[in-house]
A = this chain, B = another copy of it.
């Protein structure tokens, strides 16, 4: 295990518009800060700028809420057009009450309001959706960086999700490329020689959470470079982080 892990926030990125070349923007920011990317680095990118670059923005003025969306919005004191967008992004409503709607998205992620985001997007009448396939987004970023620099690093697309039982949101991985998101210790002996039973760590989520420490919510630090973590290379997919329904007591 490495003695030291460093997390470097990339700042000074411009506002990301639909169609923006994220690879160019990220490489420029890294260069501007004197950060040299290597194969051993993990690049963590917030979902927000990926969704913006991929034009996953919805103009609410074009949205006609259904009767159900209007009803839920009234109960939750929210914009019925936003609820309509949330329902369109929802494969299954996991739970709902007067405050929130927990959705299973079409990707299989379980999160509040299907990941539909009203903050930090351009204009009052715009919301951002999750990328259609954040693994593919991560792969495109990884490939773009490889083509321009020859560097083959790991890429994680991250978003802040709530969770049951515990207060507060934490950053988790919704897309990965070039890294195995889970680290399996099962079958290995512990420090006392006893075999570990159920220890699979969600490394990609821990890397996403670590990256959040330099990102914050209000600052324009949408990208972090993690150096010194000996990640396991692999094709990897964030779908590995989605607990299979038959293994999930809470679905």
List chain A positions with a Cβ less than 8 A from chain B.
1-9, 11, 33, 95-97, 100, 102, 109-110, 112, 118-124, 160, 163-172, 181-183, 185, 188-192, 194, 196-203, 205-207, 209-210, 212-221, 229, 240-243, 248-251
Nearest-neighbour CB distance to chain B for A174, whole angstroms, equals 11
**B243–A202 touching, CB < 8 Å:** no
**A166–B249 touching, CB < 8 Å:** no
**B166–A242 touching, CB < 8 Å:** yes
Which of A33, A185, A249 has the most CB atoms of chain B within a 10 A radius of its CB? A249
Please give me the residue from chain B that is nearest to A113 by CB atom.
B198
Please give me the residue from chain B that is nearest to A205 by CB atom.
B170
How many copies of this chain does one complex carry? 2
Which residues from chain B contact A124 at a C-beta distance below 8 Å? 194
Please give me the residue from chain B that is nearest to A42 by CB atom.
B213
User: With the chains together, A99 CA to B213 CA distance in Å?
Assistant: 35
Chief secondary structure at chain A's binding surface: loop
Nearest-neighbour CB distance to chain B for A181, whole angstroms, equals 8
Please give me the residue from chain B that is nearest to A160 by CB atom.
B201
**A241–B168 touching, CB < 8 Å:** yes
Residue from B165, B191, B214 in contact with A250 in the complex, judged by beta carbons closer than 8 Å? B165
Given known A1-B216, A120-B190, A210-B210, contact A202–B95 (CB-CB < 8 A): no
